[in-house]
Structure 1
Amino acid sequence: MLPAVEISDLNDNPSSNRIFIIGGGIVGASLAYFLSREDNDRQVILVDKYLDKLSGSTGYAPGFVGQYNESPVLTSLAKDTVSEYIKVPDGFQVVGGLELSSTSEGVENLHRRKEAAQSSGLPAEIISPEVAASLAPDFIDADSVKAGLRFSSDGTANARQIASYYIREAQAKGVQLVEAEVTGFATEGHQMTTINSRSGDITLNGSIVILATVPIIPVAHPYTFTPSRPARSGTPYPFIRWLDHHVYARDHGDRDGLGSYDHPPMQADPTQSAMGLWPPSFEHVLSEATSHLKNRDQFLVKGPSDDPDEKRPFNGIFAVTPDNLPLAGRVPGVSNMWLCAAIWVTTAAGTAKLISRQILGGDEQRSSGDEALLKALDPARFQDIEEDVLVKQALAKYNDIYNRDPN
């Protein structure tokens, strides 16, 4: 990584031909990459509190990338995201995704999801309990499920690797980095004029600002591991979702990981990173979640330890919105400000590409579906709704994180 640029240097050489990206996680890194890869005369500047580490949700993301969603918008963004991740060295592994059900109603849902996924252009097939168990024998007991739905083109993303790669490539194209903690903004009329930070103010002179890190509704979420073990040989396990129980699991190579959404939504208040305080109730949540796996006894359920090098259960904070869709587009009432909050690693690159196309302009860069996507993701869609109503709606979405209700 090249040295960071000082704020004083930026202010000594003012220009209106700049694009400032606030937030250096996978979304901000994706924006820097896509904006810099097109031939244009814009100067792109990425601003983040810590340039040498990923303290936000990117650093803790479990990396599941399932492309099918009953929201066509999310499916489109996820497919576009995967088309980019597979180009990153060691960034994406096509291991497939597998959804399981142990109820007749759940099996009907799997068949419906299969048909809809195929209609959206994704490979999907219903498989027997025996075949499902053969794909992840340490996870799945064939006697405990009725059917599985396999998505062969899904996989796992190494969010840290992808973000680092995008930043390196962006820097090679001339993107500048600024290490500063942004604390606010100043506006005059309908234009943002200043980025305030603890390291000094950045004068914009009409430059565009994209917020790639937005504290929408942060929620608590438990994730745990098994102790380290030798890597498995043979075909990699797909990532698994037990839809009936809101539980998911994956093989991390040197250990297994598991998370659960099967608990009341808990709004969080993170400060320095996307790792929150450990609620004791999460130990019961994880105990119940691990009961659905064949290797249930290997997972740790007790909270964090004092050993910083030991992978223990942790509270991984992430954001939700009232409709589970990203916030992306122009900020109403501020002519030079955009949002690009993709919410999930699954949609990060696709959302960043969409915003990059709009900012760079030109009909040749925009795709035919951009208008519909921008309408669905428009930050103004919640503008006239009371904050407490939005919070309530967003928290309610936590327990349906797979978005099986497109409405």
Structure 2
Amino acid sequence: MKSHVRALVVGGGAVGTSIAYHLAKAGWDTMLLERDELTSGSTWHAAGLLPLFNMSYATSHIHAYSVEFYKTLEAETGLNPGFSVVGNLRMAQTDDRMDEYALYAATAETVGIPHEWLTPKDIRDRYPLIRTDDLKGAILHPTDGYINPADVTMAMAKGARQHGATIERKWQVDGYEWTGSEWRVTVTRMAERGGNLVPTEEQQVITAEHVVTATGNHSQRTARLLGIKMPAIVVEHQYIVTEPDPALVEWRKTNDQHPVIRDADAKWYVREERGGWILGPYEQNAPARFEYGVPDSFRADLFPLDLERIEEEYMSFIHRIPSSENAGLKDDFNGPICYTPDGNPLVGPAPGLRNMWLAEGFSFGITAAGGTGHYLAQMMVDGEAEIDTASLDPKRYGDWVTTEYAMRKNEECYDHVYVLHHPDEERPAARPLKTAPCYDRMKAAGAQFGQVNGWERPNYFVPGAEADFDLTSRSFRRGKWWQHARDEAKAIREAAGLIDATAFAKHRISGPGAAAFLDWFTTNKLPKVGRINLTYALTPAGTTRSEYTIVRMAEDDFYLVSAGAWEAYDEDYLYKAIMEHEDRFGRINEENVTAKSGVFALAGPNSRAILADLIRDADPVSALSNARFPWLSQRNIELKMCPVNAIRVAYTGELGWELHHPMEMQTYLFDRLMEAGEAHGLRLVGARAQNWLRQEKSYRAFGTELGRDATPLEAGLDRFVDLSKDFLGKEAMQQTGIRSRCVTMLIDGPDDADPWGREALYTEDGTRVGRLTSGGYSVASGKSIGMGYVRLDLVEPGTKLKVRMQRALWNAEVTEDSPYDPKNARIRADG
């Protein structure tokens, strides 16, 4: 066995072999270690489905790559991966489900995934074994189907070897040590004894420049070895195999294979198997397992069956395919499948560790394996993938995630596989968990909460509402919440609104090297003391890695504010950059102060008057004037008895301030603001109204307009990029050029719906030219609004486009940036 490689892949399932294949193909000296036999984890008992449908833009790309890649393996390796391209039929029993499919289809169009709409009659005519009298319709993906998991894994393994990779079986990793330049990985030879796999006394040390873990069911053991948190925990999944169905056997005499069938409202999938059916339900109450690690005695094993748990799904299967009642049960499985709280895998750099990469938590591992290998290899070899993979980044979960939290959320994720996935979905398990001190006051005022990075954050307010209002208010169109969000947006435009922004990520960077480091780390000029600026940190590929508001508290003391959902993600990038370059810049202190400082955003034309009633100053009105407190500046002020780090900026585009305050004084400050605001029309405002208002100002948001697949110049943020200085990623950004451009558009959409930011964009002649990244409603124009990326020849204001919404094309027009108050007169208003 080799003692040194450039890349060591740990785990020999479908995901690990794909990563080894793609790294070896890229020319890296690669070795894969498997503690047992290839495919001995969840891969061996997977049903092998390849669903292309996904709400995530990144995951859709990953799945689409896999499907096309698997079709090439036989020609390259001579091994047939067992890919049956039979299509995938998703049926709907409700109009709401058809609306969900319409949004899925819009995302599929942005990736170029073909689909076809079917009526109940179309389904009955094509597939007469399916009962259709209670269906609304279906969507068919003709290019996917199912594959043999073991065969495709072996084909990728052979391809990896052909490209020079080494694969070693029966070696278990027992330790990782970073030496400062490479990883020392201690491995132990495993042997079979009495049917169990046990460690022997034979050990070796392998050094590797990079390590990738793809350990599947063993992810919790991997997390402990690495000293990190990883919310990837196994959940039981049962499926059954029937004896041949005589009706299916007869139908196959004159037809090709039956497509994969999904009855999402009944919570199951079905595919053909040797004249019978495989039924895979996603029932409620499937338990999480292996939260502390996989027992040594568990190899390619299964859990005890609990068929009573899936009785309802089995009966609905007979209802949908009546002939299946004549097919007896042939086999049944109850095996482990790894999940994460949001259902997306953990793919990317491990938190806090150099050259350690994770590929864990795959609930659809066969579908995602090919694409994960491709895009992760791009990250490792080229410095960045061609798509934005931030939604899969392991650091979307911070150290606050516990085993219990991961178990409860993963169980919820499993039984939500076929629950309607509204874009405004908020899942209730393990909540509330992280709450700001004003949570109870917000809740009493009718707050309907969402969760961001574990924090409870008001989405909107319904005064006097029942506690479960949000659970019944969701829709793929304008839900019950829409009117409340509109009223909140109008309140900020006309009077004043108060937003709980405590979830913002907040970091303090200080020390002798702080200024020089941040000047190199970010694209914009550093602000002067007491001033602020908006700036970006880039990837080595020159695309947008993070967005920061930098407040300069002193010459060598900076307060950085960034998106709340990306706290650990931003902190990790800062920490690694500081550690790597401290010799260059000198001593730098980095402190995460997110939990120490609460934030209220006060905005609207009356916001200055509200603060004037509270500020302790000899001349309250003058203290808040442009002369003493100009736009884009910072001051330490006192609001009654609360010290506040006040920043004059407003994400809503109105006159306003962010009030950063000691967390322990939050309820006091909240009460004083509400008391002072009563005379000035102050209203509590949630995140949904804020999202609409920022689009009226064309403010780009990280995770939507801003990400690792576009540069700040492509996002139209030239004014925040100082090309006269040197900064991380500058040369790569310039070499990338401008491939597309971010624009804002107003949309003449349907009366009952707005875009969600996942829709495809077309020219008037029907040519697809881009996609939306954000969407909502503009209270200023009375129209739907959206932001997105289009071809360079379509960026001029007045350009006519079409947006795909609810299966129809609607007129859209590109506007100037900041269609509301383009001269910023309101945000600069003087007192």
1:244 partner letter: D
1:32/1:225 CA distance change after superposition, 3 Å: same
Q: Among 350, 358, 366, which residue is 1:331 paired with?
A: 350
Residue in 2 aligned with 1:49? 35
Higher relative contact order (CA 8 A, sep 6+): 1
Gaps of 5+ in 1: 1-8, 302-310
CA contact 2:50–2:367 (8 Å) conserved in 1: yes
Matches of 1:85 and 1:179 in 2, distance apart? 24
2:35 partner letter: K
Matches of 2:153 and 2:409 in 1, distance apart? 30
Matches of 2:154 and 2:299 in 1, distance apart? 20
Matches of 2:6 and 2:204 in 1, distance apart? 12
User: 1:145-166: CA deviations, max 9, x gaps?
Assistant: 2211111222212222111111
CA contact 1:263–1:285 (8 Å) conserved in 2: no
Counterparts of residues 17-96 of structure 1 (less than 5 Å) = 17-38=5-26, 40=27, 42-51=28-37, 54-89=39-74, 90-91=80-81, 92-96=83-87
1:22/1:49 CA distance change after superposition, 3 Å: same
Cα RMSD of the aligned pairs, angstroms, is 2.5
Matches of 2:31 and 2:233 in 1, distance apart? 27
CA contact 1:100–1:148 (8 Å) conserved in 2: yes
Matches of 2:21 and 2:111 in 1, distance apart? 28
Matches of 1:294 and 1:171 in 2, distance apart? 47
Q: What TM-score, normalized by structure 2, do the two folds share?
A: 0.43
Matches of 2:347 and 2:46 in 1, distance apart? 20
CA contact 1:328–1:340 (8 Å) conserved in 2: yes
Matches of 2:32 and 2:263 in 1, distance apart? 39
User: 1:21-64: CA deviations, max 9, x gaps?
Assistant: 111111111112111222x3x3211111233x522111111121
User: What SS does the aligned partner of 1:244 have?
Assistant: helix
1:162/1:127 CA distance change after superposition, 3 Å: same
Residue in 2 aligned with 1:219? 235
Matches of 1:181 and 1:134 in 2, distance apart? 54
User: What SS does the aligned partner of 1:126 have?
Assistant: strand
CA contact 1:77–1:351 (8 Å) conserved in 2: yes
* 2:172 matches 1:187: no
CA contact 1:222–1:286 (8 Å) conserved in 2: no
Q: Among 111, 114, 117, which residue is 1:126 paired with?
A: 117
Residue in 1 aligned with 2:304? 277
Which of the pair is proportionally richer in strand? 2
Counterparts of residues 4-403 of structure 1 (less than 5 Å) = 9-10=1-2, 14-15=3-4, 17-38=5-26, 40=27, 42-51=28-37, 54-89=39-74, 90-91=80-81, 92-138=83-129, 140-182=130-172, 184-188=174-178, 192-197=183-188, 198-199=199-200, 200-214=202-216, 215=219, 216-228=232-244, 232-233=252-253, 234-269=255-290, 271-273=298-300, 275-282=302-309, 284-291=311-318, 292-300=320-328, 311-341=330-360, 342-344=362-364, 345-361=366-382, 367-369=385-387, 372-373=388-389, 375-387=390-402, 388-402=404-418
Same amino acid, percent of matched pairs: 23
Give how far 1:286 is off: 4.8
2:50 partner letter: V
1:221/1:116 CA distance change after superposition, 3 Å: same
Aligned residues: 376
User: What SS does the aligned partner of 2:375 have?
Assistant: helix
Gaps of 5+ in 2: 75-79, 189-198, 220-231, 426-831
1:267/1:212 CA distance change after superposition, 3 Å: same
Compare CA radii of gyration and give the structure with the larger one. 2
CA contact 1:129–1:142 (8 Å) conserved in 2: yes
1:29/1:206 CA distance change after superposition, 3 Å: closer
CA contact 2:283–2:309 (8 Å) conserved in 1: no
1:159/1:203 CA distance change after superposition, 3 Å: same
2:207 partner letter: N
Q: What TM-score, normalized by structure 1, do the two folds share?
A: 0.84
Matches of 1:286 and 1:54 in 2, distance apart? 28
1:110/1:337 CA distance change after superposition, 3 Å: closer
Matches of 2:183 and 2:24 in 1, distance apart? 23
Matches of 2:66 and 2:337 in 1, distance apart? 19
**Which structure 1 residue ranges, 4+ long, deviate > 6 Å from structure 2?**
none
1:324 partner letter: G
Residue in 1 aligned with 2:800? none
Matches of 1:227 and 1:177 in 2, distance apart? 38
1:281/1:268 CA distance change after superposition, 3 Å: farther
Matches of 2:339 and 2:273 in 1, distance apart? 25
CA contact 1:114–1:125 (8 Å) conserved in 2: no
